[in-house]
């Protein structure tokens, strides 16, 4: 499809030929395949922007329900190591602009695992090498890759970029501060865009500090619930049970504070050590009038970050975490008959690309193509 666009730029068409070429270009649809699709955060965002996603690929079959139920796209239960470029190429309609996107697991590159000596031996460390191999073989028109900013410190990232350059892609990457794009959490992500057509970049930020989306804007209208209970209207609006000591601790916690606000007898042993002073953001409440902290896979736990509700004596619920990841309130993560497993849902939601960031990526890709259509 790139050759079709380039031919229009190289050749001097006249009269009816030029009009026919323009009509043909405008008929082209933008179609994406989402590798590492998970429960569909990136896919949902791309589709909100106007890009059709025909399929998602993921090694975890339990993501199938959420992906297909909410996105109307096919879920392919395969590892990126197993799926072939031939299989992927067949997913794109003949008359389409091909987009291949993916957010490889970020744990190997996260600051939380930087001290692990064996992190480069983990199975998911080399998944980007499989991603670039597929890119070279499929030759999509545009590629998008999202991950943690720390990834640029690792050889696998420079190898990924070199692989794109070897195939003639124009490349742009930047560290995105999510509140700049209307996402109500202090998440920072690296977003890479690459195109065979020409220079490509994210659209300009849509928000400034004075109008950042806050926790209250996102979740303030949800009904109050107690720790260990769920809403009768929405069973995913469920919070984890708190032990007696953690219930006492959260009652002593203030928004934006830390365990230092507690009575001394409530402090854990680790907090009393000198090294405990570095853990200021655990056992803490969010603040209503600011974006939330980064939503991790353990956001449902009061003791793993600043995940205490701003007012209610509990950790945030599964639904609240999903909304802070900009999933719509209607998003279905599990069948109605399945139990609400906090750990599993926390993992899926925390690992997802925020829907709004997916939408921004999609809008950036559409804007890029419009320059050539």
Q: Cα–Cα distances in Å, from 38 out to 41, 105, 125, 347?
A: 8, 10, 17, 10
Q: Do residue 225 and residue 182 come from a single domain?
A: no
CATH, residue 286: 3.90.120.10
Would you say residue 324 has pLDDT above 50? yes
Contact (Cβ atoms closer than 8 angstroms) between residue 125 and residue 85: no
Would you say residue 195 has pLDDT above 50? yes
Catalytic hit among 63, 103, 106, 178: 106
Q: Do residue 361 and residue 313 come from a single domain?
A: no
pLDDT confidence bin for 261, thresholds 50/70/90: confident
pLDDT confidence bin for 120, thresholds 50/70/90: very low
Least trusted range by pLDDT, from 80-94, 270-284, 312-326, 355-369: 270-284
pLDDT tens digits for 206-255? 999 999 999 999 999 999 999 999 999 999 999 999 999 999 999 999 99
Q: Do residue 194 and residue 276 come from a single domain?
A: no
Say what the pLDDT of residue 346 is. Answer: 98
What H or E segment, with its residue span, contains residue 97?
strand 96-102
| Calpha distance 37→214 (Å, rounded) | 27
Tell the burial category of 256 from Cβ atoms under 10 Å away from its Cβ (0-12, 13-18, 19+). middle
Say what the pLDDT of residue 318 is. Answer: 98
Q: Do residue 154 and residue 52 come from a single domain?
A: yes
Percent of the chain residues past pLDDT 70, beyond the cut: 84
Q: Do residue 36 and residue 143 come from a single domain?
A: yes
Say what the pLDDT of residue 123 is. Answer: 55
Least trusted range by pLDDT, from 78-92, 116-130, 183-197: 116-130
| Calpha distance 182→203 (Å, rounded) | 13
Q: Do residue 312 and residue 274 come from a single domain?
A: yes
Q: Do residue 202 and residue 243 come from a single domain?
A: no
Which comes out higher in pLDDT, residue 267 or 34? 34
Counted domains in the chain? 2
Say what the pLDDT of residue 118 is. Answer: 44
Say what the pLDDT of residue 116 is. Answer: 47
Say what the pLDDT of residue 327 is. Answer: 98
One DSSP character per residue, 259-309 reads: GGGS-GGGS-HHHHSGGGGG-TTSS-B--TTSPBPP--TTTT-GGGSS-B-
Say what the pLDDT of residue 267 is. Answer: 77
Say what the pLDDT of residue 138 is. Answer: 98
Would you say residue 104 has pLDDT above 60? yes
Q: Which residue has the tokens 């602009």?
A: 97
Q: Do residue 161 and residue 14 come from a single domain?
A: yes
Percent of the chain residues past pLDDT 90, beyond the cut: 76
| Calpha distance 12→77 (Å, rounded) | 46
- Is 106 annotated as catalytic? yes
Domain span at 168: 2-207+354-370
- Average pLDDT taken over every residue of the chain: 89
Q: Do residue 293 and residue 219 come from a single domain?
A: yes
Task: Report pTM.
Answer: 0.90
Q: Do residue 119 and residue 165 come from a single domain?
A: yes
Least trusted range by pLDDT, from 169-178, 203-212, 263-272: 263-272
Q: Cα–Cα distances in Å, from 327 out to 41, 299, 322?
A: 7, 15, 5
């Amino acid at each position: 499809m790139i050759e079709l666009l380039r031919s229009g730029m190289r050749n001097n068409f006249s009269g009816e030929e030029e009009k026919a070429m323009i009509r043909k270009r405008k008929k082209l649809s933008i179609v994406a395949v989402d590798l590492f699709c998970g429960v569909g955060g990136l896919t949902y965002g791309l589709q909100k922007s106007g890009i059709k996603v025909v399929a998602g690929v993921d090694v975890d079959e339990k993501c199938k329900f959420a992906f297909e139920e909410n996105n109307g796209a096919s879920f392919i239960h395969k590892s990126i190591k197993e799926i072939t470029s031939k299989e992927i190429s067949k997913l794109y309609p003949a008359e389409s602009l091909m987009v291949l996107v993916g957010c490889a697991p970020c744990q190997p590159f996260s600051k939380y695992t930087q001290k692990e000596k064996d992190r480069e031996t983990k199975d998911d460390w080399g998944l980007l090498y499989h991603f670039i191999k597929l890119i070279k073989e499929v030759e999509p028109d545009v590629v998008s890759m999202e991950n943690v900013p720390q990834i640029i410190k690792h050889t696998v990232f420079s190898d990924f970029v070199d692989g794109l350059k070897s195939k003639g892609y124009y490349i742009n990457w930047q560290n995105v501060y999510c509140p700049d794009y209307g996402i109500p959490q202090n998440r920072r992500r690296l977003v890479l865009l690459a195109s065979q057509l020409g220079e490509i970049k994210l659209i300009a930020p849509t928000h400034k500090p004075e109008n950042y989306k806050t926790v209250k804007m996102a979740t303030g209208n949800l009904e109050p619930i107690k720790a260990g209970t769920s809403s009768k209207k929405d069973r995913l609006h469920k919070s984890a049970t708190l032990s007696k000591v953690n219930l006492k601790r959260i009652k002593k916690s203030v928004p934006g504070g830390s365990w230092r606000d507690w009575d001394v007898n409530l402090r854990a042993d680790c907090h009393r050590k000198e090294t405990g002073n570095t853990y200021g953001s655990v056992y803490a409440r969010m603040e209503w009038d600011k974006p939330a902290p980064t939503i991790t896979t353990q956001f449902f736990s009061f003791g793993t970050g600043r995940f205490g509700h701003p007012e209610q004596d509990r950790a945030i619920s599964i639904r609240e975490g999903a909304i802070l990841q900009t999933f719509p309130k209607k998003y279905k993560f599990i069948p109605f008959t399945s139990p609400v497993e906090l750990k599993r849902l926390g993992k899926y939601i925390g690992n997802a690309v925020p829907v709004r960031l997916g939408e921004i990526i999609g809008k950036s890709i559409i804007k890029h193509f419009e320059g050539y259509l």
